Structure 1
């Protein structure tokens, strides 16, 4: 098995899996725009802004949109769960105060380790790797189900509607002023 990312070595997700949530669905909805089937973050278990990490979860059930067609899958909404937790962390941390909507500007080092069968609790951790407000944030993520690794990787969160980023010369969904392409999906 490939080596675990640094965040997996720093935090024991199996111990945190049953913590009561620090932030529940209503707090998440006040911060993140996703609703209905696109809500891929059920709760935030812990968050440490000075250390740059957060742990959250998605309670997967047999009623989730993917279950009828794929009762056992590599990872339903995996990137979306990690992205929603990363965006929740970035918005609540105050690092990007003028950003309303983030997008996924890129993915790296994405690895799948085990498949998932609902019902289960998918526990996800994110950690900041590089932050450049108002331009972008690169976050490492790692997920487990029942103390077994499910996936890991890193993602680039970019502001899609930030006036400060535009003043810096960044186009929505880009991280470099010289970039001509528009990338990212709304988060």
Structure 2
């Protein structure tokens, strides 16, 4: 039933993205094999919702080992994908006031299907709560072929970039 989706699938067209990987890179720091978004498909600041696609290919870093002969996208990578979408939306509209948004936790996560190479994983988030400089909370869904494959609630927190830089400098 389409009403169960955060965003109606009728509003999402993978062939007409509103932001490509270069636009995502301007807001998200992940690169190389850790980039888990292909394009942004929809944004609505009034409803606090955003959608993206992750085009899953045979070249994904996890395909060779998870699992040989039967590559299944690991759940943790699905969660990373929705975290990156939440971060993109949060950063684009400066909802947290942070240099970088990081994982703060996940709640009520359910994996309801599989994702394999050749799939378009449609990711959707709805911001439920935003406390500037503290935390964002977002409901999320991942959809393949009009079926929810993952859903739950995500928490995003500001990454203390100065503290991270200081810690790395002490190790050098």
**TM-score interval, smaller chain:** 0.7 to 0.9
Contact 1:129 1:138 survives alignment (8 Å):
yes
Does residue 131 of structure 2 align to residue 135 of structure 1?
no
One of 23, 42, 52 as aligned partner of 1:46: 42
TM-score where L is the length of structure 1:
0.77
Q: Deviations over 1:95-128 (max 9, x none)?
A: 23x4111111111010000112211110000001
- Is the 1:72–1:115 contact (alpha carbons within 8 Å) kept by the matching residues of 2? no
Q: How many residues end up aligned between the 2 structures?
A: 159
Aligned to 1:116: 115
Aligned-CA RMSD value: 2.3
Runs in 1 of length 4+ with deviation above 6 angstroms? Answer: none
Partner Cα distance (2:16, 2:108) in 1? 31
Contiguous gaps of at least 5 residues in structure 1 = 164-170, 173-187
| Counterpart contact for 1:31–1:88, Cα < 8 Å | yes
Distance in 2 between the 1:57 and 1:127 partners?
A: 15
Tell me how far 1:44 sits from its aligned partner: 0.5
Q: What TM-score results when the alignment is normalised by the length of structure 2?
A: 0.84
- What is the match of residue 91 of structure 2? 91
Q: Which residue of 2 aligns with 1:177?
A: none
> 1:135/1:162 Cα in 2 relative to 1: closer, same or farther (>3 Å)?
farther
> Aligned partners of 1:132, 1:118: CA distance in 2, in Å?
37
Structure 1 residues 47-100: Cα deviation after superposition (integer angstroms, max 9, x where no partner): 01121000001000011011122234254511100000000000111223x411
Which SS does the other structure have where 2:64 is aligned? coil
**Structure 2: stretches of 5+ with no match in the other structure:** 165-172
Distance 1:68 1:14, change over 3 A: farther
Counterpart for residue 26 of structure 1:
22
C-alpha separation in 2, matches of 1:141 and 1:48: 15
Q: How far 1:17 moved relative to its partner?
A: 4.3
Q: What residue number does 1:107 align with? A: 106
